[in-house]
Amino acid sequence: MSVESVTVEGGPGRARWLRWLGRAVAASVAVAFVGLLLYGVITKSPNTTIDDTLAHAQAPAAPPFTLAVLRRGNLGGPLTRRLAPALADGKLSLSELRGTPVVLNFWASWCVPCREEAPLLQRTWRQQARPRQVLFLGLDMQDVTEDARSFLRDFHIDYLNIRDPSNPIAHRYGVTGVPETFFITAQGKVVGHVVGESNAGQLRQGITAAQSGQIAGRRKGGARGKTH
């Protein structure tokens, strides 16, 4: 058999093989492209589960977390005794707060509306929440640790704060900007949500809802800064 005959006989087979390989590569690229699109939708689309459930006058379970304590603050006698075991390891889990109503505020030091809101939060904590043993809990996110600590010092914040260096917890809660505030019952149910800077009336209503379990729903607050 000559070299020419091998080349001629192999030519169509090689061409078919190359066509098959080309189709396979194209299909793989298409699948990968669709996968990237889906990933983008899943990771960037806000989680609306909490707000959707509140809109139906139901209280969803608060998404769990375990985060490092940024500042323990001055919780007052009853809350200090209740939470001392949970704070002993320098971390705090939502499950460790069972039995305590919680006002959970997402914030960051680079957020201008958070700076506007901070004095009201501190005043409400001192005058209304702490005497009623409702825990104010700040969750600092997407922030530099020292900047966050400076923020707490500047505004004389003395309620408990935890820190998430990124934003997975915020994503679980559907947070798309800061500040945002959630009101959570002693049973771990979300009964209210303020999107943006809270006002005094919204905080007062939320504290009452966290204690009573009454649905406060989603409320539009003031300005907020977009998360990164």
Query: pLDDT tens digits, residue range 160-197?
Result: 999 999 899 999 999 999 999 999 999 999 999 999 99
Query: Which contiguous run of DSSP H or E holds residue 131?
Result: none
Both tokens of residue 68? Answer: 């490092």
Residue 130 has pLDDT above 50, yes or no: yes
CATH architecture of 49-226: 3-Layer(aba) Sandwich (3.40)
Q: Where are the domains of the chain?
A: 1-45, 49-226
- Give CA 224 to chain center in angstroms: 15
Q: CA–CA separation, 3 vs 153, rounded Å?
A: 85
Give which of 70, 97, 94 is closest to 84, Cα–Cα. 97
Q: Under DSSP, is residue 92 helix (H, G, I), strand (E, B) or coil?
A: strand
The pLDDT assigned to 113 comes to: 98
The pLDDT of 30-53, averaged and rounded, is: 57
The pLDDT assigned to 18 comes to: 62
Asked if residue 182 lies in contact with residue 207, where contact means CB atoms within 8 angstroms, the answer is no
What is the model's pTM? 0.81
